[in-house]
Amino acid sequence: MMTDLNWYFYSDTNAKAGELEELLLKKNHKLKSFQLLEDLFHKLERTPHSILFLKAYTTYNVYDLCQEISMKFPSVYLIILVPENMENTKKAMRVGASNLLTYSDATDEINDVILQAQDYMKQRASKGEGVTHLPKQNSRIMAVCGSKGGVGKTSLAVNLANAFIKSGKSVVILDANFQFGDVAMYLDLKPNRTIYEWVKEAVERGRYGIDNYVSHHSSGIALLPPPPRPEFFEIMTEEHVALAVAELRKRYDVILIDTPTSLSEIHLKSLDLADDLLLVTTSDLPVLRNTKLYVDMLDSLHFSEKVHVVLNKDSKHRAIEAKRLEGILQNPVFASIPDVGKQMTTAINEGLPLVLRNGRHSFSKRMLQISHLILPPPEEEEKKTKRFALSR
Ligand SMILES: Nc1ncnc2c1ncn2[C@@H]1O[C@H](COP(=O)(O)OP(=O)(O)OP(=O)(O)O)[C@@H](O)[C@H]1O
Ligand SMILES: [Mg+2]
Listed residues 95, 127, 159: the one ending a domain: 127
Residue 43, amino acid = K
Residue 70 lies in a domain: yes
pLDDT at 250 over 60: yes
Q: Evaluate whether 279 touches 308 at the Cβ level (below 8 Å).
A: yes
How many whole angstroms separate alpha carbon 249 and alpha carbon 66? 32
Categorise residue 10: left if φ over 0, alpha if ψ from -120 to 50, beta otherwise: beta
| Nearest-angstrom CA–CA distance, 259 and 73 | 38
The model's pLDDT over 192-212, given as tens digits with 9 standing for 90+, comes to 999 999 999 999 888 889 999
Q: 47: domain range?
A: 2-127
Asked if 48 contacts 8 with a C-beta cutoff of 8 angstroms, the reply is: no
CATH label of the domain that carries residue 114: 3.40.50.2300
- Co-location of 121 and 224 in the same domain: no
Q: Is 155 in the pocket of ligand 1 (CB under 6 A)?
A: yes
Ligand 1 atom at shortest distance from the alpha carbon of 339: 3
Residue 132 located in a structural domain? no
What would the mean pLDDT of 132-154 be, rounded to a whole number? 84
Residue 85 has pLDDT above 50, yes or no: yes
Residues 92 and 118 both lie in one domain: yes
185 lines ligand 1 (CB under 6 A): no
Residue 159: band (very low, low, confident or very high) from pLDDT cuts 50, 70, 90? very high
Nearest atom within ligand 1 for CA of residue 149: 25
Q: Give how many domains the chain has, as a whole number.
A: 2
Q: Are residues 334 and 220 in the same domain?
A: yes
**Does ligand 1 have an atom closer than 6 angstroms to the CB of 146?**
yes
Domain of residue 322, CATH code: 3.40.50.300
pLDDT of residue 119: 83
Which domain-ending residue is among 127, 156, 189? 127
Nearest ligand to the CA of 342 is 1
Residue 128 pLDDT grade (very low, low, confident, very high; cuts 50, 70, 90)? low
Q: Is the pLDDT of residue 221 over 90?
A: yes
Whole-number pLDDT of residue 135: 56
Mean pLDDT in residue range 272-292: 96
> Do 296 and 369 fall into the same domain?
yes
245 lies in the same domain as 122: no
The ligand whose atoms approach the alpha carbon of 312 most closely is 1
Domain end point (choices 79, 99, 127): 127
- 267 with 366, same domain: the answer is yes
Do 98 and 244 lie in one domain? The reply is no
* Cα dist from 151 to 117, 192, 311, 314, 337, whole Å: 33, 28, 9, 11, 11
Give the residue, out of 147, 153, 155, with the most ligand 1 atoms within 8 A of its beta carbon, to mutate for a pocket test.
155
